[in-house]
Amino acid sequence: MGVIEKFMPLLMEKEEEGLLTPLLQTTDCTFAYIKYNNLYIVSTTKKNANIALVFVFLHKIVQVMTEYFKEIEEESIRDNFVVIYELMDELLDFGYPQTTDSKILQEYITQEGHKLEIQPRIPMAVTNAVSWRSEGIKYRKNEVFLDVIESVNLLANANGNVLRSEIVGAIKMRVYLSGMPELRLGLNDKVLFESTGRGKSKSVELEDVKFHQCVRLSRFENDRTISFIPPDGEFELMSYRLNTHVKPLIWIESVIERHAHSRVEYMIKAKSQFKRRSTANNVEVVVPVPADADSPKFKTTVGSVKYAPEQNAITWSIKSFPGGKEYLMRAHFGLPSVVCEDTEGKPPIQVKFEIPYFTTSGIQVRYLKIIEKSGYQALPWVRYITQNGDYQLRTN
Amino acid sequence: MTDSKYFTTTKKGEIFELKSELNSDKKEKKREAVKKVIASMTVGKDVSALFPDVVNCMQTDNLELKKLVYLYLMNYAKSQPDMAIMAVNTFVKDCEDANPLIRALAVRTMGCIRVDKITEYLCEPLRKCLKDEDPYVRKTAAVCVAKLYDINSQLVEDQGFLDQLKDLLSDSNPMVVANAVAALSEMNDASQSGSPLIEMNAQTINKLLTALNECTEWGQVFILDSLANYSPKDDREAQSICERITPRLAHANAAVVLSAVKVLMKFMEMLSSDSDFVSMLTKKLAPPLVTLLSSEPEVQYVALRNINLIVQKRPDILKHEMKVFFVKYNDPIYVKLEKLDIMIRLASQANIAQVLSELKEYATEVDVDFVRKAVRAIGRCAIKVEQSAERCVSTLLDLIHTKVNYVVQEAIVVIKDIFRKYPNKYESIISTLCENLDTLDEPEARASMIWIIGEYAERIDNADELLESFLEGFHDENTQVQLQLLTAIVKLFLKRPTDTQELVQQVLSLATQDSDNPDLRDRGFIYWRLLSTDPAAAKEVVLAEKPLISEETDLLEPTLLDELICHISSLASVYHKPPSAFVEGRAGLRKSLPARSQEAVHEPNANQSGGGATATVIPSQDSLIGDLLSMDIGGPTVAPNSVTSQQQSAAVDLLGGGLDSLTMNNSTSPSGGPSQSTTGLLGDIFGFSSAQSSMYIPPKTVWLPADRGKGCEIWGSFSRKNGQISMDMTISNKAMQPMAGFAVQLNKNSFGVTPARALQVLNPLPVGVSHETSLPLLITGPVQRMEPLNNLQVAVKNNIDVFYFACMIPMHVLFTEDGQMDKRVFLATWKDIPAQNEVQYTLNNVQLNADGVVQRMQQNNVFTIAKRNVEGQDMLYQSLKLSNGIWVLNELKIQPGNPNFTVSFCTFYAVLPHHICTTKYLFFFNNWLFLKIFKLN
């Protein structure tokens, strides 16, 4: 039948050859696909398509459908195929993505099926300059929640040298505001401070800032003002990235002694290198172990250790880890006398944590001005949290 | 309640059941039935039989139902075109519905139905919808124009939709503008003429830039992509567009960012590279590119492939960002490999230490492909950053000590390249390499190792043993290995001639006698001949100093790179191929970077090379690593100036036996006997018909008789005028119908004669007409020895059939105009030519005196060097040169009054043959010359 019939065989073939890329070329067309759960979401093109757009769009489909159906997998596709057809109709036309904002879509493509007498109308937002917010939204209590979340990415080599560390920050908002409010967000942005003669105040140099489409980019380019009409509800207003040279927040030293054919011993030392008055919560140190290790034995003063054979790893969990402390854990495994044929990689140690009321970068929300023509008073709430991002420490 | 129930249907009479449900009076039941139909369609069942019943449900005020019916129509209209017409009325009506959602739905669906009859009805509604009051309808109609263009481009142009679409570029609604732009770009790309349908002007660009700030993220991509196709009129306009686009780099959508990068990269080309603006842009481009590496892996992949291009075009942008390309443990393999590529590109003296320690880490991972590439990368670093070479080599040695099979092999391949870049520097490690000889099972690694042994044979005591060990399974080896082994042993022999004679004989005979591979045989013959005639020359050729390999071996060719920069974020940028390589159909408008306009005013000549003007000089493609192994022959052939006096050195004795038998074989065989050759050449030249004043042209003979050519008769001959050999033919049509489409092909032949252009014959050739044509020939074609030597096999094709025939090239047309040899050279050569290369003959019945002979011969490119009178006999010394570089010297003895001449011939060649086969000529040249050309009896 269709060209899509060729997709799975080709995919298998490439996978076997170890040449799998997100693009598969056939004589008829190119497949661009992503995998989500047990589903492949595939697009085809015969032209020199904008492939970045294709992939971003495929991920957008996943996002929209997740917001519609909670989970997308084979079953939810079957259960909702009529709506999915309708959605696809609005999401793109002749290969050109159209409306992909699920909040707006939900206003005229609903899951219940329409009552026969009332026909749906297109929300103004579909073609408005403000395509992400509908008019006439009403709340009794006008509130805005701002979460500043910083994820720390770290890559350290086995000698304990930090190869790379960066902070990826995001400002997430939950907006419960009536009408069409105009918001202005003030940060302690270094470029702004310097241009307005406040160079001496504590400020942060944001290396690369990305904004939600609601933010007026040219305005930011001109005078660093972050001004926007927010979508309703939850969304990510902006993200930023900066390279830091600060100490890794949680440092792990590991000593691994492998005695071939008999046992392997781990000594893991975790050190918190942030201020004493802060505390990291839900710290997890995930230490990979050989697949054929057996009879685990652990010893630790703090927290608990679990062996997860399915992941070939042990997880050391510490509920609360105050700054400036150092904890130790020892683990012991037996190894079989017959060595397994397959060579194993050396997965790194990974660390998970959350430190509330704290940002590594020192970014601060100075103000959030909310102006709506009805003149209501709204309350902004701000939270700060630092957590692990891609936090990897290579082992010997 | 879920929709999944629609997928479960009863098997028997399913269609029948659905039919009755579709025709039910109850709306609810109808709707359920349509859903079942769509469910069946979705899983690939054929429900086209229900077409009329489904179309009947189309007139409904239920939007959901309507959408489903439309969906069905899109799928099946093409297979049921006649019935699809039934739907037209409803479509047209829906296009005027009060609800814009329905108007848009109708026009959107109609555009997707590729049935001519429906397309006809689409025009009017489409025209209205393009002017609809609701922007939602207008934006849908805009895309519909592109759909229509895909079905029937002529219709779009005739109906004036292009102008309407152009008007939409100024629409008040940014979404409408964005879709209109997208539709226009699509049509421009598909346009048959290859020229854009609508030219953008500064005014439209301005409107687009305004809409850019207001439309959705996708609309921004459409607008940016279309801006990338615009050529600003000067650098000022380019800069102002760049300024207005730069804010897009802060967009959260990766596609918006990459499209903005594309426009900036392209327009930057027009700006002076030392301007503040360009250096500011260069700084601004890095962070967004780096951030793309935090997106989804597929987007990362696209970003990395593009960064690969950007790094080649403007290395400054990311030169400080090496670390972000370090590989993470959980990156997908395709991301890892791309990151590795970019790491090598960014490697420099400043960061090499970090890079190396990373690469070493990667080389101990488990994924074989990745590990191999990491090892290769270490080698490339060594070649690229000279200061790091030593560390790279020691890293590679460490890796070899791991004894992991594929790591060792890969390391040896790259070490060979390191040797080629830094000769005589790291040879101390050879012994370590030799320890791993047994583990090498991949051809490339074996060939590399053999190359190393051959190249440094004088420093490896047991080189002969090592090479001999490879020789055992010679015929089971890959060609690459065989060729390398042959060369290496010859090198070894030249370096240590005393004790390796046996080995070299062995490999030469393996290569020349037992092999079916022509490359191997020919290389074998060349070596054999070189060694036997002139070992000094052999040394010069085989042990010649090789050029160092260049650093950047895998850069894209600059014009391709420039083209790909114009395609950033598209499929082409990921494939690293121009769109024409994978998009079917239209040859496509090649995109190229704009040239700097302002410079032209100040320096009138600076603009010639266009966008490539700033490109750095890059070594040619043939220096790719893959080709390195074959360079012994292909590359720096050092031609010995002229082989003169050393002809009969010890080398002949050395190889005595083998060579003799070879020569004997050839010279004693009375070879093939005279076939249908024309009258002897000299006789012809000397002219029994003496009315000629220029080069002798043999009369035409029948090459293809009419009965064999199905009515096509060809007479032909060869001539040489002003150094141009031509094949002159008279082609006659003796059939009952006109002939057309003549073409000619020549088989490989002894002198590499090949057509210089296509055969030009009256097309069509009417019945009974003869056409004279002359086909100029080149001597650059493939060479293959023919029997007899001047035999030429020809294939002529016309609309009736293909015909094959053979003819003889008269030897004298191959005599070149520069066949006059210097007197002294002649003398020296005459003496030195071995006796076996000399033949005597008598020409009978020549009615010319000595001067007449000189003149006549000169006209035929046989030049008289000297004339002597000895004891009443005239002695003429003459030289001629064949088109393949072989010299022939002769001596004519003329007794006045006696019509019988005595001729002595000598042959030798002074130019190292550029055709491998030329070596073989030597063996039979004398023999042939007399039997075929100067055959008088």
What pLDDT is recorded for position B365? 86
Confidence class for position B554, pLDDT limits 50, 70, 90? confident
Q: Which of residues 351-380 of A touch B (CB under 8 A)?
A: none
What pLDDT is recorded for position B914? 35
Average pLDDT over residues A206-231: 91
| Cα(A51)–Cα(A23) distance, integer angstroms | 9
Task: Sort out which chain B residues have CB atoms less than 8 A from A55's CB and list them.
Answer: 254-255, 296, 298-299, 302
Judged by phi (left if over 0) then psi (alpha if -120 to 50, else beta), residue A224 lies in left
Contact B64 A25 (CB under 8 A): no
| Cα(B91)–Cα(B67) distance, integer angstroms | 12
Q: pTM of the entire structure?
A: 0.72
Question: Shortest CA distance to B498 belongs to which of B706, B352, B660, B650?
Answer: B650
Token couple for B836: 């076996």
Contact B216 A99 (CB under 8 A): yes
**Residue B153 burial (CB count, 10 A):** 15
| Cα(A377)–Cα(A372) distance, integer angstroms | 9
DSSP string, B644-670: -GGGGSHHHHHTHHHHHHHHHHHHHS-
Facing residue for B302 by CB, picked from A55, A83, A344? A55
Token couple for B711: 């009515």
Higher pLDDT, A151 or B611: A151
Q: Which of A210-224, A235-249, B9-23 has the lowest mean pLDDT?
A: B9-23
Q: Which residue of A has its CA nearest to B366?
A: A345
Higher pLDDT, B359 or A28: B359
Token couple for B578: 């121009």
Confidence class for position B95, pLDDT limits 50, 70, 90? very high
Own/partner pairs, A113-122, CB within 8 angstroms, 24+ separation? A113/B64, A114/B62, A114/B63, A114/B64, A116/B27, A116/B61, A116/B62, A119/B61, A119/B63, A119/B99, A119/B101, A119/B102, A120/B63, A120/B101, A121/B99, A121/B100, A121/B101, A122/B100, A122/B101, A122/B134, A122/B136
| Cα(B605)–Cα(B687) distance, integer angstroms | 59
**Strand order of the sheet with strand B701-704?**
B701-704, B712-721, B724-733, B770-778, B754-755
Residue B7 Cα to chain centre, angstroms: 51
Alpha-carbon distances of A359 from A190, A234, B129, B181, rounded to whole Å? 16, 21, 53, 43
To the nearest whole Å, the CA of B311 is away from the closest chain A CA by 18
Contact B27 A116 (CB under 8 A): yes
DSSP string, A71-138: S-SHHHHHHTHHHHHHHHHHHEETTEE----HHHHHHHS-SS---SSPPP---GGGTSSSTT--S---
Task: Sort out which chain A residues have CB atoms less than 8 A from B364's CB and list them.
Answer: 346
Confidence class for position A193, pLDDT limits 50, 70, 90? confident
pLDDT in tens, A228-257: 999 999 999 999 998 777 789 999 999 999
Question: Shortest CA distance to B882 belongs to which of B826, B815, B835?
Answer: B815
Contact B567 A48 (CB under 8 A): yes
Q: Which of A62-71, A119-128, B6-15 has the lowest mean pLDDT?
A: B6-15
Task: Sort out which chain A residues have CB atoms less than 8 A from B258's CB and list them.
Answer: 52
Confidence class for position B16, pLDDT limits 50, 70, 90? confident
Q: Which residue of A has its CA nearest to B113?
A: A94
Cis peptide before B896 (omega within 30 of 0): no
A67–B contact, CB cutoff 8 A = no
B683-696 exposure pattern, b = at least 16 Cβ within 10 A, e = fewer = bbbbbeeeeeeebb
| Cα(A326)–Cα(A334) distance, integer angstroms | 27
Average pLDDT over residues B378-384: 91
Which amino acid belongs to residue A215?
V
Which amino acid belongs to residue B224?
L
pLDDT in tens, B167-184: 999 999 999 999 999 999
Q: Is the pLDDT of residue A114 over 50?
A: no
Beta strands, E only, B607-733: 701-704, 712-721, 724-733
Confidence class for position B834, pLDDT limits 50, 70, 90? low
To the nearest whole Å, the CA of A285 is away from the closest chain B CA by 16
Q: Find out whether B114 and B151 touch, Cβ atoms under 8 Å.
A: yes
What pLDDT is recorded for position A207? 81
Helix-helix angle B479-495:B535-542, to 10 degrees: 130
What pLDDT is recorded for position B671? 36
| Cα(B292)–Cα(B767) distance, integer angstroms | 71
Task: Sort out which chain A residues have CB atoms less than 8 A from B253's CB and list them.
Answer: 56, 213
Q: Find out whether B216 and B182 touch, Cβ atoms under 8 Å.
A: no
Helix (H) or strand (E) holding B66: helix B63-76
pLDDT in tens, A22-50: 999 998 899 999 999 989 999 999 999 99
| Cα(B121)–Cα(B132) distance, integer angstroms | 18
Contact A94 B221 (CB under 8 A): no
A346–B contact, CB cutoff 8 A = yes
Facing residue for B135 by CB, picked from A85, A127, A168? A127
Task: Sort out which chain A residues have CB atoms less than 8 A from B221's CB and list them.
Answer: 50, 53
Q: Is the pLDDT of residue B542 over 70?
A: yes
Q: Which of residues 194-233 of A touch B (CB under 8 A)?
A: 207-213, 216-218, 220-221
What share of chain B in percent tops pLDDT 70? 81
Q: Find out whether B343 and B325 touch, Cβ atoms under 8 Å.
A: yes
Q: Which of residues 110-169 of A touch B (CB under 8 A)?
A: 113-114, 116, 119-122, 126-127, 129, 131, 155, 157, 163-164, 166, 168
Cis peptide before B764 (omega within 30 of 0): yes
What pLDDT is recorded for position A136? 87
A27-51 exposure pattern, b = at least 16 Cβ within 10 A, e = fewer = eebbbbbbebeebebbbbbebbbbb
- Dihedral sign (CA B542, B548, B553, B555): negative
Facing residue for B179 by CB, picked from A96, A236, A345? A96
Judged by phi (left if over 0) then psi (alpha if -120 to 50, else beta), residue B935 lies in beta
| Cα(B423)–Cα(B455) distance, integer angstroms | 10
Average pLDDT over residues A365-373: 92
A59–B contact, CB cutoff 8 A = yes
What pLDDT is recorded for position B912? 34
What pLDDT is recorded for position B614? 36
Confidence class for position B806, pLDDT limits 50, 70, 90? confident
| Cα(B107)–Cα(B493) distance, integer angstroms | 82
Task: Sort out which chain B residues have CB atoms less than 8 A from A208's CB and list them.
Answer: 250, 287-288, 290-291
pLDDT in tens, B170-221: 999 999 999 999 999 999 888 766 667 777 888 889 999 999 988 899 999 9
Contact A213 B252 (CB under 8 A): yes
What pLDDT is recorded for position B201? 86
Task: Sort out which chain B residues have CB atoms less than 8 A from A238's CB and list them.
Answer: 252
Q: Which residue of A has its CA nearest to B226?
A: A50
Q: Which residue of B has its CA nearest to A26?
A: B582
Q: Find out whether B489 and B496 touch, Cβ atoms under 8 Å.
A: no
* B492 CB-near residues (< 8 Å, 6+ apart): B453, B454, B457, B463, B464, B467, B500, B503, B504
DSSP string, B406-438: HHHHHHHHHHHHHHHHSTTTSGGGHHHHHHTGG
Task: Sort out which chain B residues have CB atoms less than 8 A from A166's CB and list them.
Answer: 324
Facing residue for B583 by CB, picked from A46, A55, A114? A46
What pLDDT is recorded for position B801? 84
Facing residue for B136 by CB, picked from A79, A127, A218? A127
Average pLDDT over residues B597-617: 40
Q: Which of A354-363, B144-153, B861-870, B894-903 has the lowest mean pLDDT?
A: B894-903
Q: Is the pLDDT of residue B619 over 60?
A: no
Give me the phi and psi of B524, to 5 degrees please: -60, -45
Task: Sort out which chain B residues have CB atoms less than 8 A from A349's CB and list them.
Answer: none
What share of chain A in percent tops pLDDT 70? 96
Higher pLDDT, B60 or B662: B60
What pLDDT is recorded for position B854? 75
Chain A interface, mutation test: which of B2, B3, B36, B318, most A Cβ atoms within 10 Å? B3
Average pLDDT for chain B? 80
What pLDDT is recorded for position B837? 60
B89-111 exposure pattern, b = at least 16 Cβ within 10 A, e = fewer = ebbbebbebebbbbbbbbbbbbb
pLDDT in tens, B743-781: 888 888 877 888 888 888 888 888 888 888 888 888 888
What pLDDT is recorded for position B767? 82
| Cα(B934)–Cα(B905) distance, integer angstroms | 11
Contact B215 A129 (CB under 8 A): yes
Q: Which residue of A has its CA nearest to B302?
A: A52
Facing residue for B288 by CB, picked from A51, A208, A344? A208
Helix (H) or strand (E) holding A228: strand A226-228
Residue B907 Cα to chain centre, angstroms: 40
